[in-house]
Every structure is written in structure tokens, then in C-alpha cells.
Copies of this chain bind each other. A is one copy, B any other.
Amino acid sequence: MWMMRQAGRYLPEYRELRAEKGGFLDLVYDSEAAAEITLQPLKRFPELDAAILFSDILIVPFAIGQNLTFVTGEGPRLTPTLLKDDLDELTAYPARLDPIYDTVRKVKAALPPSMTLIGFAGSPWTVATYMVAGQGSRDQAEARRMAYSDPAKFGAIVERIEEVTLGYLSAQVKAGAEALQLFDSWSGSLSPAQFERWVIAPTARLVSELNKRHPTVPIIGFPKGAGGKLAAYARETRVNALGLDETVDPVWAAKELPEKLPIQGNLDPLALIAGGEPLEEAVRRTLDAFATRPHIFNLGHGILKDTPIAQVERLIALVKGDE
């Protein structure tokens, strides 16, 4: 059991450190602070089974040469966007990834051996949506349009991300990561043919190469919003575990997905805030559905910043009390 965004704003100790140290990106690049933040939820909730590296999926575009800033209340900005500019006008700075490996090493050194250290990256499709538009967007319209209108250019962007991501994840493993998650936050907006081309194909190549290089390190794919395409994703990417978002019915998923595939997920973060009956019912539904296969309990999305600590304690008791 772990929780997406478990090192984050719902924790008073995180808010304190952040107020002291400055912006989000400052924290990510201060490997001392990033390691401390990664470890905060494990200190508070020692029943959790894994640490997830405190970082951001947009470190990869930053290393490819875009400028990265976080605008308070509005989210990330990447410049120049790739709507007009081309990839080869960017100067790559691979050294921008180095502080992240320092964080991994520091966390690994401090983490009890019973806890797993999870590294991560964004999937090529999701990272490309940000690189093209320069920011998050409601339905990834810019990237989806470029994927149709200029598949050569869009394919080159995806390929470059894939190549950098492969090196990045591999280096995280060498620094101490014991499992890897691929966040595909925007996989939900694609038609089936585009999903096959831009989500499944690059993910399958990454999984195949990473499994070859690091056979003991499982890759968790998390294609948010994939809905009815989850089974195809699982079958064709050959991810070693599959993360489900909170909109997926676990009963349906248990029936639909390959029988022995480990599943991760998928409590509604709003049910965690609600507590009481809705929380207990949702936890029960997920635990029961995946009782007969390997199951990593998690939320279906990042924990929300106004989640009461007492509710998290209640959740852990519900899940761990069940074992």
C-alpha cells in the first residue's frame, strides 16, 4: 500500500518545509529537501509499504531544453512550446536530471529495507502534451491535433521523450529505485487508433527495454482515463503492474484484466475526504475485487491537499487491518 502524492500538501510537515525553502521546483532540485519530503509520509505512517520519489514529470522536458516554471495557482509552463518551434532548436541539458538521482540515492540510504523505493516518469504521450502546448490543457487539443496533422513532427517529439525517459528511469534504478511507475495522466482523451500509436507503442518499447536491462524491477503503468482500453493496454504494453484510476469499477476490472496481472489502485480521493460509510464501502469493494490476485492498494489519483490526516490513519487501519 502507498498513496499517489503521499509526499505533499496534506502533510503539515511538508507545508512547513515548503514555506521555508521556496517554490515546488526549488524543493525538487534540492536533493536534501526532496529526500526528506519523500520520507515524510513513511515517518508519519510507517505502515505504508513504499516511498515514491518526490519529483515531477516535467523534469524530462526541462532536460530536453525547455524552460520550466510553476505559476502559482495555474500550474506548469514550458517555453518555448513546440507548437511552432522544433525540437532541434532546443539545447539539451542532460545534467538537469542529475539532482534527481542524488535524491534517489539519499532516500535509498535512509529507507528501511522493508520499504520499496518507487521511481517514476511521465509516459511519452503525456509529456508530449505538455511540451507541445507549453502547459496543461482541458483536452490536450494541441497535441491531439498535431498528432493528426503532422505525425512526423509529433512522432519525433515522442521518440525523443522516449529515449530520454529510458535513460532517466534506468539511471533511477542504478541510483536505488526498486520499482518504476509510468504516469500517463492524459491517456484518456485519445481515440483507439491514436491510443495504440502514441500510448501503447512507446510504452511497450520502454517496458521491454527496461525489463531487459533491469529484470527484477517491475514497471507499473498508470494510463489514467483509459477506461475500456485498459485490457488492450495491459496486454500490449506488457507492463508488470497496472494502476487504475478511481473511475474504474474494480469488479469490472477484476473480470476484464489478465488474471495474474498485479493491480494498483483505486480509491476515490474524495471518498477518503468523505470518510464514514462511503469510504468503508469503497475500500471494501476494491479489496474484495482484487482479493485473489496481487494487489497494491492505492488511491485512483493523487491525495488531495485538504485530506484530514485522521482520515488517512483510518484508511491505513482499514486496509492493513484486513491483511
Contact = CB atoms under 8 A, between A and B. Distances in A.
Interface of A: 138, 144-145, 148-149, 188-195, 225-232, 246-253, 256, 268, 270-271, 273-274, 278, 281-282, 285, 300
29 contacts: A144-B270, A145-B270, A145-B273, A148-B274, A149-B274, A188-B225, A190-B247, A191-B247, A191-B271, A191-B282, A191-B300, A192-B248, A192-B250, A192-B252, A193-B278, A194-B268, A225-B225, A225-B227, A226-B227, A227-B247, A228-B228, A228-B230, A228-B248, A228-B249, A228-B253, A228-B256, A229-B247, A229-B252, A232-B252
Contact of A249 (B145, B148, B232): B232
A194 B190 CA distance: 25
A247 to B, nearest CB: 6
Contacts of A248: 192, 227-228
Interface of A is mostly: helix
Contacts of A281: 193
Number of copies: 2
A278 B145 CA distance: 12
B148 A247 contact: no
Nearest to A144: B270
Contact of A252 (B145, B191, B228, B251): B228
A145 B272 CA distance: 11
A293 B145 CA distance: 32
